[in-house]
Amino acid sequence: MIYQYITIISIAIGVAVLFDFILKGVSLWHAGKNKQKGWFVALLIINSVGLLPIIYLLFFKADRVASRKARKDKKKVLKKEKEDKKKAALKKEVKKDTKDSKKVVEAKITKKAVKKEIKDKENKKKTVKKVVVKKSKD
């Protein structure tokens, strides 16, 4: 029964072998070009009927790895820019706060001066009352 389909089976095997050679050649070329020695040796030695070259070409080819790294780097740059903007905004607020704090310190000084004057006046009144009280007793 199998002998009836021998031509179809041989054509399928031939196509698979040709497909394997093409994939292996392309993946070996990329691995050599990108100086990925480990992948080059693995692709050369391991005969996985095209699975290993497909895996390499889809996930580990340097162009794809480089594009992933570029995306990660872009995200890092955007994150750093956001942080820099936040830092700049905080610096502006700090400068504003220092100006405001100088005003606040001046205001505190004036409040302290006013409170001190009020206390001094109260103390003078108390001393005057004491003197008046003492004189009336005498």
Amino acid (one-letter) located at 42: A
| Rounded distance between C-alpha atoms, residue 6 and residue 69, angstroms | 49
pLDDT number for residue 18: 92
- Which amino acid appears at position 36 of this protein? Q
Instruction: Decide if pLDDT at 15 tops 90.
Output: yes
Say what the pLDDT of residue 101 is: 59
Look up residue 31 and give its two tokens.
Answer: 């691995």
User: Residues 56, 36: contact at Cβ < 8 Å?
Assistant: no
At residue 35, the 3 state secondary structure works out as coil
> What is the number of residues in the chain?
138
- What DSSP state is assigned to residue 138? -
For the CA atoms of the chain, what is the radius of gyration? 44
pLDDT at 59: 82
Summarize pLDDT for 28-53 with one digit per residue, the tens. Answer: 998 888 888 898 898 888 887 788 88
**Residue range 91-135, pLDDT digits in tens:** 776 666 565 555 555 555 666 667 777 777 777 766 655 555 555
More confident: 128 or 13: 13
pLDDT computed for residue 11 by the predictor:
92
Per-residue confidence (pLDDT) for residue 50, from 0 to 100: 81
pLDDT for position 39: 87
CA 50 to chain centre: 38
Structure confidence at residue 14 (pLDDT): 92
Q: What is the pLDDT of residues 47-82, one digit of tens each?
A: 877 888 888 888 887 665 566 666 777 788 888 888
